[in-house]
Chains A and B, each alone.
Chain A
């Protein structure tokens, strides 16, 4: 399938003021492309949770979205510290978020489960001290 468009946004660690801007920009773009609003909402929830995960948990990273005729592929990549136990991190209610993140309304241990629930396909890999990469695919129909 031919790729129509690709966008990439840097995400800065600990920046709760700008955190969410990448997802906001992606939402604007998807609306301009005429993607169905219920699909846009699922994409935005997944992208926003992934973006805030990078803000809250990592040393920084990026969000890359590739848009095709029938789907979007989003990669959320950060440069560490990595997740020691992915199975545990995927459990609803499990969180290692800081007090600052909790004050901002996050840290309920719902981030990764929300991303998975919003996606048609979800992949996660991580290496402690190196990286975490989440890839999701959401189909437009």
Chain B
């Protein structure tokens, strides 16, 4: 699924790296616990989270996660957006809750990540 389609489905706003919207992703993972995210092994996943601090960006950087969706209208501060921009991570923000965001994307064909 293209990031542009994800943006449309969850009525998200893009906060940085708009040129990445044409990228494809195959699966998603939702969590506020970065240690759980770091246990992932799936390639080309996106991250859905309500945690908007700098360590969310660092975690995504380590795992080559190319897109983070911030839920519940949460907005990171400018320094965090700047770091994401520098690291080539596309940031989307939606008013939907974590559960609703995951539900919309899953029902439209985006797969979840299962721990191996």
Contact = CB atoms under 8 A, between A and B. Distances in A.
Given A16-B54, A16-B55, A20-B55, A110 B35 contact: yes
Nearest to B58: A20
B63 A41 contact: yes
A16 B34 CA distance: 13
A19 B55 contact: yes
A27 B61 contact: yes
Contacts, number: 71
B13 interface: no
Which of B37, B58, B61 has the most C-beta atoms of chain A within 10 angstroms of its own C-beta? B58
Contacts of A108: 33-36
B17 to A, nearest CB: 17
Interface string B74-102: 00000000000000000000000000000
Given A16-B53, A105-B32, A108-B33, A114 B38 contact: yes
Interface string B45-61: 00000010111101101
Interface in A16-37: 16-17, 19-20, 23-24, 27, 37
Nearest to B34: A105
A71 B56 CA distance: 28
Interface residues of A, number: 26
Contacts of A9: none
A136 interface: no
B64 interface: yes
A45 B58 CA distance: 10
B62 A105 contact: no
A117 interface: yes
B63 A49 contact: no
Nearest to B49: A105
A80 interface: no
**Closest A-B pairs by Cβ, 3 of them:** A105-B34, A20-B58, A110-B35
Interface of B: 32-39, 51, 53-56, 58-59, 61-64
Given A48-B62, A103-B53, 4 more contacts: A24-B62, A27-B61, A44-B61, A110-B35
